[in-house]
Structure 1
Amino acid sequence: MDRQDETNAIAKELKSQALILGTLVAIFWIVEIVDVMVFQGQLDTFGILPRHPIGLRGILLAPFLHGSFNHLIANTLPFLTLGWLVMLKETRDFFIVSAITLLISGLGVWLFGSSGFHIGASGVIFGYLGFLLLRGYFERSFVTIFLSVVVGFFYGSLLWGVLPTVPGISWEGHLFGFIGGGVAAYLLSDRAKSKTL
């Protein structure tokens, strides 16, 4: 592959990544606009309702629901930034990490969460954070360790979110999301893959 082909491949990959992230963020915003303008916030009842069978649907739906535009704005930039960093090595990692995090975060909240509906993309965002911070530990390559350090420097303060410090914030979603990201980091690491061969 010559330099021009390589440049074209990188540009195509970046375009694909931007499309994936842009589409998901657009869905977040469209859902919130429709929820506020049409349903007066009633869509939030499709979030995770701990220990109620109907609340299980929220495992898939909760990341697309937000309590307000301020909530959505607070989640948009970290979702874009950390989501793109998850894609850096391989775009498909984003889908695998998202799925693992969604499942572990959602089930954790459903089993152990406080009463009331849990909504928002922050559980998935904390999954990306956990993945990026722990990938360096599991892979132990210079690039992944460096990326873990950079992410820790810029986003390390988010880790306080896994503690019950702010009323009304689903710290359980953050905690189990982070755990899910750590599980994904291990499962996608070269060491885990070599054990399955």
Structure 2
Amino acid sequence: MTQPSGDPAATGVPTCYRHPDRETWIRCQRCDRPICPDCMRDAAVGFHCPQCVQEANRSSRQNRAVYGGERSADPRLTSYVLIAINALVWLGVLATGWKNSDLIARLALVPKGTCESLSSDGYYPTALGERLCTLGTQGDGHWVPGVADGAVWQLITSQFLHVEVWHIAGNMLALWMLGPQLENVLGRTRFLALYLLSGLAGSVAVLWLSGAGQLTLGASGAIYGLFGAYAVIAHKVRADLRSIATLVAVNLFITFAVPNISWQGHLGGIAGGALVAAVLAYAPRARRTQVQALGLGGFLLVLVALVALRVAALS
């Protein structure tokens, strides 16, 4: 008579694939490996082994946002950073003379150069022309270049420049409300691209549709881009559009009803934001990242070409 072996495998009893000395009748639902209680991982149905869980985590899309971007650990962060940049620039304006701050003339968007005179009320430079300014007809005038004179940075810097407290407060409140929601579904990189391209689209609209010496500033173009993007994504997921439609309608009414508001920047921003969101949301899943990159890159090239054409015309 033979004695039974002490090895469970020798008797035909399954043993854990990680702990050969432990008998078990439980198997992984994915790979069918026998697993002991210490190796069991809860799954929607039954249990999975540690190796299958690791493979699933590597191949799953749980770290991807809805439209392909990497999901942000904190979707509020980008909006907070943008708010902080706007606040710092505003504090800089306050610290350097507020409405007479030289930062306004340097950072605000002016299609063609203007003459700034400190003998005026400040805030906006006076469009007198370079020759008159050089001759000093105001006694203290000095020439401030516009985009057509080479100050192309104004297309971007104007998006972060505010003077009045109500202006920066309203824009930053909208960014605080909409930004995290959009970053949550787009991911950080795509959200930042949406914000900056919307602002640039607003600046390009100002460049083409505003007077040559008109000064424009504020983040409203980018903010209206968020409005447009939110509407497109809400339509994509078949959400209730009444709230965003009401918000857009109210803001557009204010745009045209209140003097000294750049309707050009607002309309350019909302159109740009809607277009960027459409590219991001409707890109085919199979080649989503490539299509999104080509779409946004193509839109940027169109904006750059429009800037070049307008500068040539103004020059």
Q: Is the 8 A contact 1:161 1:174 kept in 2?
A: no
Q: Is the 8 A contact 1:136 1:145 kept in 2?
A: yes
- For the pair 1:170 / 2:228, whether they are aligned, the reply is no
Deviations 1:58-77 (A, max 9, x none): 11101110021221111111
Instruction: Find 1:90's aligned residue among 186, 190, 213.
Output: 186
Give the equivalent residue in structure 1 for 2:110: 49
Shift of 1:20: 1.6
1-structure distance, mates of 2:109, 2:151? 5
Classify the secondary structure of the residue corresponding to 2:111: coil
Instruction: Find 1:103's aligned residue among 187, 200, 205.
Output: 200
Alignment TM-score, normalising by the size of structure 1: 0.79
- For the pair 1:131 / 2:189, whether they are aligned, the reply is no
Instruction: Name which structure has the greater RCO, CA cutoff 8 Å, separation 6+.
Output: 1
2-structure distance, mates of 1:79, 1:182? 16
Shift of 1:123: 0.7
Classify the secondary structure of the residue corresponding to 2:76: helix
Deviations 1:97-139 (A, max 9, x none): 11321221111111212342110011100001011112344xx
Q: Is the 8 A contact 2:162 2:168 kept in 1?
A: yes
Matches within 5 A, 1:10-49: 16-40=74-98, 41-45=101-105, 46-49=107-110
Q: Number of aligned pairs?
A: 188
Change over 3 Å in CA distance of 1:154–1:111 after alignment to 2: closer
Give the residue type in structure 2 aligned to 1:38: T
Shift of 1:154: 4.5
- For the pair 1:145 / 2:238, whether they are aligned, the reply is yes
Change over 3 Å in CA distance of 1:112–1:190 after alignment to 2: same
Q: Is the 8 A contact 1:128 1:181 kept in 2?
A: yes
Deviations 1:10-46 (A, max 9, x none): 9xx6653222211111111111111111243321221
Please, what is the CA RMSD of the aligned residues?
3.3
Shift of 1:150: 3.8
Q: Is the 8 A contact 1:50 1:112 kept in 2?
A: no
Structure 1 stretch displaced more, 76-85 or 145-154: 145-154
Classify the secondary structure of the residue corresponding to 2:275: helix
- For the pair 1:116 / 2:208, whether they are aligned, the reply is no
Consecutive unaligned residues in structure 2, runs of 5 or more: 1-40, 44-56, 58-62, 65-70, 113-145, 293-315
Instruction: Find 1:68's aligned residue among 142, 164, 167.
Output: 164
1-structure distance, mates of 2:220, 2:232? 18
2-structure distance, mates of 1:2, 1:178? 46
Q: Is the 8 A contact 2:199 2:221 kept in 1?
A: yes
- For the pair 1:184 / 2:282, whether they are aligned, the reply is no
Give the residue type in structure 2 aligned to 1:26: A
Alignment TM-score, normalising by the size of structure 2: 0.52
Classify the secondary structure of the residue corresponding to 2:75: helix
Give the residue type in structure 2 aligned to 1:185: A
Classify the secondary structure of the residue corresponding to 1:169: coil
Give the equivalent residue in structure 1 for 2:177: 81
Q: Is the 8 A contact 2:228 2:270 kept in 1?
A: yes
